[in-house]
Amino acid sequence: MTRPSASSFRAHLRSPDDPRIAGISELDAYSFVDRVLAHPVRAQLFDGWLQRYRETEFEGITTDGQCIPDLFALADHGAPVVAAQAAALQLLSIVDPPQRAALCHRIDARQWRAWMNPELYLNRFGLRLDEVPAPVQQAVLDVLRASLSAAGYERTRTLMRINHFLGELVNAPRILNEFSYNFNLFGTPSRSEPWGWNFYGHHVCLNCLMLGGQMVVTPVFMGAEPNCIDTGPHAGLTAFTDEESLGLALMQSLPAQQQRRAQLYRLKRDPRMPPGRIAIGDELHLAGAFQDNRVIPYEGVCAADWSSALQRQLLALMESYLRYLPAEPLRARMAEIERHLANTHFCWIGGFEEDSPFYYRIQSPVLIIEFDHHAGVFLGNAEPEKFHVHTLVRTPNGNDYGMALVRQHCELQQQVLRDACLHQAPDGGHHRHT
């Protein structure tokens, strides 16, 4: 079959009087919230999300409700902590006191988990880039640039520009634009103590924890509607070609028996699916926003018995999602992933012809990746199409947001203090050791 053109999204542009976008040019990010929440089904969805955010404490995604212990260890992976710290301190030096108060949070603040993909400005934390002066915008981008790889930074900027393009397509520039994103800092930027940042908005949600020479950059949500720009100054920008093509190639390369086991459902929206498997907002994603503690059992096939060639394909696919990491942290992350290759599972929903929309998930004790073709939100396609893509990367078993490492660091510091107290005499002197 012939693969559809990336610009096939233009066949699904809504008319200006379509109820989904009629009058949207008159709205901003705040009034758009009121309009969306007037719809009872959507209001119920977002109320449930926010209740989960307010009332649950972070534990981590698991397969059975219990985090596997001792998966993650403190180490020096050559993370760019010096450059990232300098960029964060520069940002702090130029914001005014109210901006600083909005920007800064404790390292264990709940606001880590406030990110969400839908363009619905409910969680109003940190600095919103389209509401701050250009120097502050640039300083925020400099933190991202200093923390991520060059490819990761460019991917982020591409998705921000596609978001702006979408705003132009539907005439909603005050809702969907290049800078309709929020940025928060957690902890005090340091070369040795844990700190981090998050950046979230429509189709770009990044969470980055720095701890000495180590970094964790999950959860990461990236998406695009459409997945390309075909006019204007950024014409030619595309996103998710590798994640789509490498995933499809892997599924097509599996032996027939493995394909049958991997394919959970033949149709992307299969009538055999249980109620709730297709979720409003998430479509087929299981590990999206406010799902930090979800139980997600393994499904599909395990890579343990695959040929070495198939395992290499799988590793290349996983690495394509992690290119936002700088070189040394990427090597460390891939080594961690490879150690668990024998317990890595792959599942698929939908067809696997060239023009088929599909979903796939890769899951191990240390990684979850999801890829999903979506129906239209601002565009009008009622069924999933290949020009609307959502992706997710998670670190299960308690290390999203780097929290497993933060806990270890705090426990180590507490042990150092306990040891110091044990060696101190009651009169303030020190015991003499012989």
The answer to whether residue 5 scores a pLDDT higher than 70 is no
Residue 336: which residues within 8 A CB-CB, separation 6 or more? 366
List strand residue ranges (DSSP E) for 28-105, in order.
104-105
pLDDT of residue 426: 58
Q: Indicate whether 3 pLDDT > 90.
A: no
* pLDDT above 80: residue 421: no
Look at residue 88 and give its three-state secondary structure: helix
* Paired sense of beta strands 204-211 and 220-224, if any: antiparallel
Q: Give the pLDDT confidence score for residue 433 in this predicted structure.
A: 40
Q: Check pLDDT > 90 for residue 424.
A: no
Q: Which residues contact 73 (CB under 8 A, 6 or more apart)?
A: 408
Distance (Å, whole) CA 233 – CA 6? 18
CB 377 within 8 A of CB 225: yes
Q: For 126, what's the count of Cα atoms within 13 Å in the CB-facing half-sphere?
A: 32
**In sequence order, what are the residues at sequence separation of 6 or more whose Cβ sits closer than 8 angstroms to the Cβ of residue 363?**
63, 296, 298, 299, 344, 345, 347, 369, 396
Distances (CA, A) of 182 to 42, 100, 126, 185, 325: 22, 13, 6, 11, 21
Give per-residue pLDDT as tens, 148-198.
999 999 999 999 999 999 999 999 999 999 999 999 999 999 999 999 999
111: buried, middle or exposed (CB in 10 Å: 19+, 13-18, 0-12)? Answer: middle
- pLDDT higher at 422 or 221: 221
- Residue 289 is which amino acid? A
Check whether 204 has a pLDDT greater than 70: yes
Q: How far, in Å, CA of 191 to CA of 91, rounded?
A: 16
**Is residue 422 over pLDDT 90?**
no
| pLDDT (tens digit per residue) in 11-35 | 999 999 999 999 999 999 999 999 9
Mean pLDDT (whole number) for 41-68: 95
* DSSP letter string, 317-384: HHHHH-TTS-HHHHHHHHHHHHHTGGG-EEEEEE--STT--EEEEEEETTEEEEEEEE--SSS--SS-
Tell me the pLDDT tens digit for each residue of 75-134: 999 999 999 999 999 999 999 999 999 999 999 999 999 999 999 999 999 999 999 999
Residue 173: predicted pLDDT: 96
**What pLDDT, on a 0 to 100 scale, did the predictor assign at position 25?**
96
Q: Which residue has the higher pLDDT, 432 or 420?
A: 420
Q: What is the pLDDT of residue 4?
A: 42
Helix axes 327-339, 308-321, angle to 10 degrees: 140
pLDDT digits (tens, 9 = 90+) for 386-402: 999 999 999 999 999 99
pLDDT at 432: 41
Tens digit of each residue's pLDDT (9 = 90 or more) over 132-149: 999 999 999 999 999 999
**78: which 2 tokens?**
């050559």
pTM score, two decimals?
Answer: 0.94
Query: For 281-315, how does the pLDDT look when each residue is reduced to its tens digit (9 = 90+)?
Result: 899 999 999 999 999 999 999 999 899 999 999 99
Report the percent of the chain where pLDDT is more than 70.
96
